[in-house]
A and B are shown apart, each in its own frame.
Chain A
Amino acid sequence: MHAKLRLYIIVILMMGLGIGLILYKHFALGFPLSPDDKKSVWTIEAKIDFIARGDPVIVSFALPPQTPNTVFMEEDFASPDYGFSELTSPAGRRAQWSKRTASGPQTAYYRLSVYEMDPITGTVTSDLPSEPEKPEFDEVLKTAATTLLDQVRSKSANTEIFTRELISTLNSNAPSQNQRLLLNDQSSEDYKTHLIINLLALEGISARIVRGLYLKDGRRRQSLSNFVEVYIGGQWLLFNQDSGESGEPRNFLIWQRGDQSLLDVVGGRNSQISFSIIRNVHSTRNLVVRDGMNKQAGLVDFSIYSLPIEQQNAFKMILLLPIGALIVVIMRLLVGIRTSGTFMPILIALALIQTTLLTGIIIFLTVVGTGLLIRSYLSRLNLLFVARISAVIIVVIAIMASISIISNKLGLDQAMTVTFFPMIILAWTIERMSVLWEEDGPREVFIQGGGSLLTAVIAYLFMTNRTIEYLTFNFPELMLVNLALILILGQYTGYRLSELYRFHSLERRHVSGKR
């Protein structure tokens, strides 16, 4: 009982480790489980223009905060002849360009490539708000504000509804006198935002301004949109100040939170900032691998990805072999198919991958068939065994060369891939088949040859499946799962499918014998 228990423990451990690593890579590192998973990568360029007065210049520009949901692939800062530094403070990151003297039109660029991860739960910003400062309104405005707030309050049940109601009242198409007074004609974006924040502060609700960028492909000269973030029930909730909708919109990058300026220019005037946005589609897997390498995440950094591309390609092939081995185990232990040579089917399958299925099978049958004919002649020449198999190898090479040349003359490119078949293996196959033919007759040759080919084709179908190829390469942990499966199959003591056929006459006789 002991050994069996030990085996099961090993199997469970390997299964657990393998599946655990896969899940970790999928959920924590973001590796997609499908090769077709694509992500939009947004490249945002902020262009800062101003005219310098000839004095020392300092440009300070707010940079977007990094959140767990967004991955910054690349950040570039460019401005000729300016000193540059990146400052981090509790209020957020800022870029600072500086120069001793500058005059005339100046430009600074900031470029960011960013993509969104699948949302991870609980990424709400929950920094504590400061006590809302009671705003100072003059008497008229204050009355208008209180009236409006009373109105809104009577229509709402909680803070969230209150805020939404307040925003939609302010935005209503038919504004009342109070609203018009409050909005004061100068309804610029910023004014409206601050008005909402102030009104909320009168109500004792903490709120702050959030500036962000709508990500749309091919946009130029964009500016940031203002949002209001309200502290409700222990977390911050984002409100669209034009519609009152809550929650973060899709494809929206939060650039700045709080009331700091977006851009400060000392020693310049007419400063302007404009954003342009381009979208590119990348395979998620490539993005994640790159991100992992940058962050030096152990699982990615110490993996096949760190190898040179050439070796990676070799491993792509090698990592498929366990799948082939599993197929062979299943075919032999569960189905009971006889193959000539235990793992020859895998080698044939590897060759088929290079040549494509149909061409590969035709080439294989041609080479083996011709080889058998020639081998049957060789057997009449009375040769020693080693010499004979060497002769068969040379014959195989000659057959391969002629197939290549003839198909080239006929314009069949595919048949030239014949060279991918392992020659020694083919020669051995021919030799064994021919001995089998002499000793056990052609039937056995067809059973074993057909069995090998069938197993090879099934292994080929699995090994060329895009998803399987992708999974084995990107999740080498699958090998552990595969190994565990093979260990379990090694314990299988039940009947093989072929034995159900082999013994089927027995069943009939048993039944008739008893009645």
Chain B
Amino acid sequence: MFLASARKLRSFGIIGMNQRNFGLISRYNPRHLYPLVDDKLKTKLLAQKAGITVPKLLGTLQYQHDVKLLKGILSPYAQFVIKPVKGSGGKGILVITEHDHNLYFKPSGDAIQLADIERHVSNILCGLHSLGGKPDTVMIESLIQLDPVFSDYSYEGIPDLRIIVLRGYPIMAMLRLTTHASDGKANLHQGAVGVGIDMGTGSALHAVQYGESVSCHPDTRKTFPELVIPHWDKLLQLAAACYEMTGLGYLGVDIVLDRDQGPMIIELNARPGLSIQVANCAGLAPRVAVIEALKNVEPDLQLRVAFSKKQFAADSSIHPPRQQRTRIDDPDS
């Protein structure tokens, strides 16, 4: 069987691309708010204003002639990350973990030269990685330090936690672990492992790589059942706070755990993907229905998180009434 039956998928509550675009993104995310999350600099400023920890900004480059300054900006730092401000899907991110005279080392151990970094920066400035090829800005951030909790579960990179937040309520979470196949990137379609997380406890549920179940990390061979994410409540609150911060009703919040500074937000996404359903082996639709059934959004963060933890814990089965489940189909109700 290569194809699933559409009826069964629907009964599991799996949301497809069309339904996501139509019923979630276009309904909950007003277009004028997109720049807040599409522009990572704006997101960063916003988060800082809201008192949320973000990776430290080391510098920005906006114009081609600024490239000359690159060497000066980089020289004090041994480790840094170069990102396009308007990049999407992890494109154009360059991670340097070691700096030795003229050589810069990527997590994989490959050495590159300053000229290579300069070319990468030029590409970003010209809009190679931005949506629609618009001229872009480069930002240089401090490198996140791997939290020892994850040291057994990641390979050449930092795992990140994706939490889907609907109307301020966290509804589903997934941990993305870097692998050798993903080249140190936490990107599922490049071969990173997606681990579904129990909303109630923060412990691992299922794990998938390339859409297939795996029971242990392919590189470190460490099995998942022991994996429990620390500070779970704090992480959920962090994610839920992004709703007030941006005003976007349907949001993907990417959080990393830093060894020294604790949890910080690295990116927000107004069009989060659907692979999280595969990692959790559960559909979004029933959870969406539960949140949509709420008349008002609770202003208190902690109450919202408590609600989510109770509703979406792995041992509590979600059975929204039938009429609520279909509510997602009509856009204006």
Contact = CB atoms under 8 A, between A and B. Distances in A.
B330 interface: yes
Interface string A35-49: 000000000000000
A440 B188 CA distance: 11
Interface stretch (A259-267, A351-359, A507-515): A507-515
B260 to A, nearest CB: 30
A385 B22 contact: no
A285 B264 CA distance: 70
A496 interface: yes
A492 interface: yes
A493 interface: yes
A386 interface: yes
Interface stretch (B1-9, B38-46, B215-223): B1-9
Contacts of A497: 3
A12 B208 CA distance: 45
Interface residues of B, number: 46
B6 A495 contact: yes
B115 A504 contact: no
Interface in A436-451: 439-441
Given A385-B122, A385-B123, A509 B277 contact: no
A502 B278 contact: yes
A88 interface: no
B277 A495 contact: no
Contact of A494 (B19, B91, B128, B212): B19
Contacts of B211: 502, 505
B244 interface: no
Interface in B211-247: 211-213
Contacts of A503: 4, 9, 14, 277-278
A507 B281 contact: no
Interface string B1-39: 111111011101010111100110000000000000000
Interface stretch (A1-9, A26-34, A301-309): A1-9
Given A3-B332, A501-B3, A505-B211, A496 B126 contact: no
Contact of B331 (A4, A336, A384, A504): A4
Give the interface centre of A3, A336, A440, A492 by most chain B CB atoms within 10 Å.
Answer: A440
A506 B16 contact: no
Contact of A493 (B4, B23, B128): B23
Interface in B71-90: none
Contacts of B56: none
B115 A1 contact: no
A494 B332 contact: no
Nearest to A504: B4
A435 interface: yes
Contacts of A504: 1-4
A513 B115 contact: no
B64 A499 contact: no
Q: How large is the interface on A (under 10, 10 to 19, 20 to 34, 35 or more residues)?
A: 20 to 34
Interface string A486-498: 0000011111110
Nearest to B125: A385
Given A4-B330, A495-B9, A505 B16 contact: no
B329 interface: yes
B4 A507 contact: yes
B201 interface: no
A336 B281 contact: no
Contact of A496 (B2, B16, B115): B16
A134 to B, nearest CB: 81
Contacts of B60: none
Contacts of B92: 439
Interface string B167-190: 000000000000000000000011
Interface string A279-303: 0000000000000000000000000
Contacts of A3: 331-332
A405 interface: no
Nearest to B3: A500
B55 interface: no
Given A1-B332, A495-B6, A500-B9, A506 B19 contact: no
Contacts of A182: none
A333 interface: yes
A506 to B, nearest CB: 6
Contacts of B127: 385
Contacts of B23: 493
B64 A384 contact: yes
B190 A440 contact: yes
A494 B18 contact: yes
B1 A506 contact: no
Nearest to A379: B119
A188 interface: no
A500 B10 CA distance: 11
A382 B213 contact: no
Nearest to B124: A385
B162 interface: no
A4 B330 CA distance: 8
A499 B17 contact: yes
Given A1-B332, A384-B126, A507 B16 contact: no
A496 B213 contact: no
A507 B122 contact: no
B18 A333 contact: yes
Given A4-B330, A493-B18, A506 B123 contact: no
Contacts of A382: 115, 118-119
A492 B18 contact: yes
A384 B23 CA distance: 41
Interface in A452-503: 491-497, 499-503
The 8 tightest CB contacts between A and B, nearest first, are A385-B126, A493-B19, A507-B4, A495-B16, A504-B4, A500-B3, A499-B16, A493-B22
Given A493-B329, A503-B14, 15 more contacts: A333-B18, A382-B115, A385-B123, A385-B126, A439-B91, A491-B22, A493-B18, A494-B18, A495-B6, A495-B10, A501-B3, A503-B277, A506-B12, A506-B14, A510-B8
22 contacts: A1-B333, A3-B332, A4-B330, A4-B331, A333-B18, A336-B17, A385-B128, A492-B18, A493-B23, A493-B328, A493-B329, A494-B18, A495-B6, A500-B4, A502-B278, A505-B213, A505-B278, A506-B277, A506-B278, A506-B281, A507-B9, A510-B8
